[in-house]
C-alpha cells in the first residue's frame, strides 16, 4: 500500500480530529499487540498447569493420609510422599521457558 504524503494526511484528518497512521506504523502496532497477547496466553497457560499440578499433588497427599494405618506398609507412605513432591516439582514455578 502506498503511503500518504503529509499533505494527504492533513487533508484526510482535517475536521475529524483523527490521527492517521501509515501502514508500517499500523503493522508495527499490530505486531506488538499480538506479541503481548501471546505472552499473556503463555503466562496464563503456565499458571493453569501449575494449579492443576498442585491439585493433583493434593490428591496424592489425601490418598497418603487415607492409607495412614498400621496395616499400610511404610514404603507406600514414602512412595506417595515422593510422588506428591515430584508432581509439585515437575514444572519449576520460576522457570522462564
Residues of the chain with pLDDT under 50: 96-97
Distance in angstroms (rounded) separating the CA atoms of residues 57 and 47: 15
What is the model's pLDDT at position 92? Answer: 63
CA gap 90, 53 in Å, rounded: 8
Work out the angle at residue 82's Cα, subtended by the Cα atoms of residues 76 and 87, and round it to the nearest 5 degrees: 125
pTM tops 0.85, yes or no: no
Amino acid at each position: 500500500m502506498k503511503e500518504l504524503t503529509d499533505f494527504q494526511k492533513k487533508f484526510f484528518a482535517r475536521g475529524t480530529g483523527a490521527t492517521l497512521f501509515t501502514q508500517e506504523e499500523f503493522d508495527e502496532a499490530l505486531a506488538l499487540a499480538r506479541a503481548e497477547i501471546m505472552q499473556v496466553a503463555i503466562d496464563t497457560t503456565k499458571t493453569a498447569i501449575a494449579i492443576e499440578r498442585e491439585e493433583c499433588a493434593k490428591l496424592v497427599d489425601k490418598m497418603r493420609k487415607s492409607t495412614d494405618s498400621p496395616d499400610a506398609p511404610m514404603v507406600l507412605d514414602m512412595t506417595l510422599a515422593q510422588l506428591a513432591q515430584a508432581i509439585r516439582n515437575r514444572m519449576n514455578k520460576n522457570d522462564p521457558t
